Amino acid sequence: MRVVKDQFEIPALPQHAAFARHRVKLSALEMGLTDKALEDLEVAVGEAVTNAILYGSPNVASHVKISCFHDMEDRAFTVEITDTGNGFDPAKSPQQLDTESLGGRGIGLMQALTDKLVLLRDRRGMTVSLTKYLRA
């Protein structure tokens, strides 16, 4: 059973990324993530939020929605970051995305730092779902 632990929106402005990382970190701590797992999630969330702000926010009035979930059956903590932009085709592998530019490595980074990465694009925008399993 998946339970919402926290849900909030931030203005799609770079100065709000640190607040989002900190708030997710507090929820993750409550769920029992510690040490390297917590640090890895914090970096992955920072990458996803920054991408949502820089690339997924069509105008200055845009917001980024962040939702934190605890899945009791799977013993998992999941963070979903949703923006209102057009996003990219999640069916393309990270290697097919532009890796020659300064950016373009975030998907691979998020994948390496989490236990599960899911990308979803629909008519409302792009959602990045980051999951870390809670260790016994």
DSSP 59: S
Adjacent-strand bridge partners of 6: 68
Looking at residue 22, its pLDDT comes to: 97
Structure tokens at 29: 């701590």
Phi then psi for residue 32, to 5 deg, are 105, 5
Q: Which of 18-27, 77-86, 90-99, 118-127 has the lowest mean pLDDT?
A: 90-99
In order of their start, the domains of the chain are 2-133 (3.30.565.10)
For the stretch 15-49, pLDDT in tens is 999 999 999 999 999 999 999 999 999 999 999 99
What is the average per-residue pLDDT within 102-111?
Answer: 80
For the stretch 45-87, pLDDT in tens is 999 999 999 999 988 899 999 999 999 999 999 999 999 988 7
What is the average per-residue pLDDT within 80-95?
Answer: 78
Looking at residue 135, its pLDDT comes to: 81
CB count in 10 Å sphere of residue 47: 21
